[in-house]
Structure 1
Amino acid sequence: MRTPLPLDAARAILYDLDGVLTPTAEVHMRAWARLFTEYLAARGDARPYTDADYFSYIDGRPRYDGVRAMLASRDITLPEGEPTDSAEAETVCGLGNRKNAAFTSELEEHGVAPYPGSVAFLDAGLAAGIRAAVVSSSANAVPVLRAAGLLDRVELVVDAQVARAERLPGKPAPDTYLHAASALGIAPEHCVVVEDAHSGVEAGARGGFGLVLGVNRGVGADTLTASGADLVVDDLAELTHVLVGASRRDGED
């Protein structure tokens, strides 16, 4: 039976962004709701879009995968289109780009503040000599990190643009996390994956990572555990003391 890696023995921590470091999930949720509420109403769909749809079909997935899964849940089939499609195009990519435009507007208008507990945890890890990377399904990871004041704290960002360029399948496939570990030159078994979405937790579990840490932002601890999380907390601040201890021990060696 697999024994999870002790948190303070990690050589790198690979963070999801939305819902882990920043509450951009709320911004994404509003943008997705605006997109599909209007789109489904225009099609005359009798089932309105709800937050449950977001958690079931969109949360943690790359943008176009989320569009595809949501449409499939309503038995709607559209042409795939191309990533260069306009936001008005009636294609999977067009709808995805329409959502991204809504997200960009929200971010510019309201900004985003990181979770204080996550910042404390991130800083404690860095002080302990544990390297940090962000692995996000979002194409907006760098602007979000910059807006939150966190970009200079992470060594590597693997986002949707990197995944597209490297032809990496999105979560729940483990490929983006494995790419990050490889880029850092650290074996997966020495890395911690931190996720708040069931698809991301599953990616960490499937990738053979040393520890998969779930952050419960509303999905539910049972769901994250069932998806493969070794440990679930409500806030990363609950574990900061473990990394502070690691930093103190390193200083004594």
Structure 2
Amino acid sequence: MNGPGPGSGPPNGVVLDTDGVLLDSAVVHAAAWKVAFDACLDRLAPGIGTQPPFDADAEYRRLVDGRSRYDGAAAFLTARGLHLPAGEPHDAPGCGTVWGVAAHKEQAFVDLLRTEGVTAFADARPALAALHTAGVPCAAVSASKHARALIRAAGLAGLLAVIVDGEDAARLGLAGKPDPALFLRAAVLLGSRPRETAVVEDALAGVEAARRGGFGLVVGVDRTPLRRTAHLLREQGADLVVPDLTTLVRSVWGERG
């Protein structure tokens, strides 16, 4: 831990990632990225076998998960040796610029939301309710501009003291993960110092951001079968890795969960 150490008591506040921790939305984001990336791979690297399709599991977790749309698009394209001009934030969906690829992902995500929707994980509400009852304020953080609306639709907004999303990041000029700016903003709004605050993340970039931000407890959530990402989360800097939020609450705050 970065915090005061054993005997100092559990964290005074909790900052939770939204996609993959509170909401079962990571799979929708990954599917939207696959639509955008595969279309551009076909166009930018024509020819059978030139570029394998986007891996919506491994590459999503390693390059895209937790990052802003632009940063995720740039990271993937760079990893594949594809170099595009940055373009402008209002570029139309396409494959000519990084912003265009990001816009294509946004378009695909909105389309998928209409057909599939997003729900909260079963453990999210009871865990947040337990922390709320215990007087531990919670914040939800996301690089997505859709996060606030999705949290409300999932019925979790009333259990959160703070929501910081992509709209806030754009308005305030906050850098995306692995920069800790979003987490630090949430801690300020919670009135909790970073060293007295826990960050809960499922993304490697998010764990790195929490570590860089000096947060007292960095928690990784591994919901995968057989805990396939637990070792990666620990290697990135997680102090604790749990399979769900109920386990986290019981492990850190006792039997309140």
Same fold judged by TM-score > 0.5?
yes
Q: Distance in 2 between matches of 1:244 and 1:208?
A: 21
1:134-173 correspondence runs (5 A)? 134-173=140-179
Q: Distance in 1 between matches of 2:143 and 2:250?
A: 29
Residue of structure 1 in register with 2:23 after alignment: 22
> Structure 1 regions of 5+ residues with no counterpart?
249-253
Residue of structure 2 in register with 1:237 after alignment: 246
For the Cα contact (< 8 Å) 2:14–2:197, is it kept in 1?
yes
Residue of structure 2 in register with 1:36 after alignment: 37
Alpha-carbon spacing, 1:9–1:106, altered in 2? closer, same or farther (3 Å): same
Q: Confirm or deny that 1:47 pairs with 2:52.
A: yes
For the Cα contact (< 8 Å) 1:125–1:243, is it kept in 2?
no
Residue of structure 1 in register with 2:192 after alignment: 186
For the Cα contact (< 8 Å) 2:249–2:256, is it kept in 1?
no
Deviations along 1:77-135, one digit per CA (max 9) or x if unpaired, are 21212222222462111111111111112112222121111221111111111111111
The root-mean-square deviation of aligned C-alpha atoms, in Å, is 2.3
Letter matched to residue 147 of structure 2: A
Alpha-carbon spacing, 1:8–1:141, altered in 2? closer, same or farther (3 Å): farther
Alpha-carbon spacing, 1:8–1:109, altered in 2? closer, same or farther (3 Å): farther
Letter matched to residue 39 of structure 1: C
1:210-221 correspondence runs (5 A)? 210-218=216-224, 220-221=229-230
Q: Confirm or deny that 1:102 pairs with 2:108.
A: yes
Letter matched to residue 10 of structure 2: A
Q: Give, in angstroms, the shift of residue 240 of structure 1.
A: 3.5
Please, which of 56, 68, 84 is the counterpart of residue 78 of structure 1? 84
TM-score normalised by the chain length of structure 2: 0.88
TM-score normalised by the chain length of structure 1: 0.90
Deviates more, 1:33-42 or 1:5-14: 5-14
Q: Distance in 2 between matches of 1:61 and 1:4?
A: 30
Count of residues paired in the alignment: 248
> Structure 2 regions of 5+ residues with no counterpart?
none
Alpha-carbon spacing, 1:193–1:32, altered in 2? closer, same or farther (3 Å): same
Q: Distance in 1 between matches of 2:235 and 2:23?
A: 24
Q: Distance in 1 between matches of 2:98 and 2:238?
A: 31
Q: Give, in angstroms, the shift of residue 4 of structure 1.
A: 5.0
Deviates more, 1:135-144 or 1:45-54: 45-54
Identical columns (%): 40
